[in-house]
Amino acid sequence: MLFTVQSNLIWLITLMLMGLLVLAVIVEIIRRKKERKNNILQQWNTVNTIIVEKEFNEEEASVLRKIIEKYEPNNPINVVTIRQNFNRCVQRYVQDLRKSVSFEELDNIGNVLKEIRVRLGMDYIPYGQRIYSTAELYTNQTLWMSLHLGVSESWRKGKVSGVNEAFFRVAPFTAQDKMNLKEGDEVVFRTWRDDDGRYQFKTIYRGKEEDVYVFDHAFTLERYQTRAYLRVRMEKTIDVNVVKISNKYDLNQISAEDIPYKVEYSTKARVVNISAGGCALLIDRDIDEDLFLQFDIELEDEGGQKSIKLITKILEKLSVSLGRYMYRGVFVGVTNELREKLIKYVYRLQPPISTALKEQQRLIEEKKKYQLDRGSSQ
């Protein structure tokens, strides 16, 4: 009898402990769900704060909320702060709309989405980072296009004339670059980014507006890192001579120090990036692409400071804004000795990778914390 009572007591205690354990698990699940719900509400408050601060209009705010609710309901803040998340959600939204709306309607929605991208600052690609879709192309970017991959004679040159989140538009560079395309044709493109690498992708031709071709966006871009020399960012204002050089000289066989030239005029420029092979300069003047840019640069050599002369042949001119132009060019008249010095100089300009990554991560975390704090205080 005593054994039976003890046995029942043990079972009762066991059941009570199991019940308490189950209750604790249920309470923890409820607590976590409530905490998660509050976190999502806090993130939505932050999103709404951003919408107000960035001065979204009613249509833009409605579309952004709809995208978040449909594709990222559990992490709203990521859509407005992380470029890859924003790109993924917009891509799915546009692909879903293609099945149910007309070309004109989709184009209008694409313009709204583009404005959202700009207001969120997602149109800025950090220096040296790759692009993931043609939605991240910029106006006036040079492209080469062809219907037949691998046939060099069939490549045509064009420039991006417009980009929204639904389509991108390309204008042929010259009359000889026009193509005979039919709706639905698959076109191959090649392009390159000055601080990144070369890209190749395929997409579908949708139609023509006067002399401009309209294409669907491509979300699979093959990237080729083809730079011969390391290129690093550089923020430095310099004096530049715009010079004219006779065509009779072979600039690959003569030193920059020995190249005769005539100075047309002088101006100020800002070095944006530089490598041992060339550089990009930002100048507040429209310069003829047949002219050359000459400037001096100080190298920190083993024997101290040493000024060297560099002459740049303009490869591409891009209108930035407010009368400013970005000139990308290649150094000419560079001897092997000078090239080695430039390589060492550029290498020294490169920040330690670990430090750069830590700084980038710190800034991202600070931005997220600030936005969450702002949202919770509302």
Q: What is the pLDDT of residues 292-302, one digit of tens each?
A: 999 998 876 55
State whether 117 and 151 are in the same domain: no
Say if CB 341 and CB 335 are below 8 A apart: no
Assess whether pLDDT exceeds 80 at residue 226.
no
What percent of the chain is modeled with pLDDT above 90? Answer: 39
Tens digits of residue pLDDT in 137-168: 988 899 999 987 555 557 889 999 999 999 99
Provide the mean pLDDT of the chain. Answer: 83
Chain center to CA of 54: 20
Looking at residue 353, its pLDDT comes to 46
Tokens of 177: 């670059």
In a domain? residue 98:
yes
State whether 6 and 112 are in the same domain: yes
72: three-class secondary structure by DSSP: coil
pLDDT band at 202 (very low <50, low <70, confident <90, very high): very high
pLDDT band at 354 (very low <50, low <70, confident <90, very high): very low
What percent of the chain is modeled with pLDDT above 70? Answer: 83
State whether 76 and 43 are in the same domain: yes
State whether 101 and 13 are in the same domain: yes
Looking at residue 76, its pLDDT comes to 92
Euclidean distance between the first and the last CA atom of the chain, given in angstroms as a whole number: 67
State whether 185 and 260 are in the same domain: no
Domain limit, last residue, from 224, 243, 277: 224
- Residue among 377, 374, 367 at smallest CA distance from 81: 367
State how beta strands 198-209 and 167-172 pair.
unpaired
Q: The whole model's pTM is what?
A: 0.57
Domain limit, last residue, from 224, 245, 261: 224
State whether 97 and 29 are in the same domain: yes
Which is more confident, 154 or 216? 216
State whether 53 and 13 are in the same domain: yes
Domain limit, last residue, from 178, 201, 224: 224
Residue 256 belongs to what domain range? 232-349
State whether 145 and 118 are in the same domain: no
Assess whether pLDDT exceeds 70 at residue 372.
no
What is the tally of structural domains in the chain? 3
Looking at residue 251, its pLDDT comes to 75
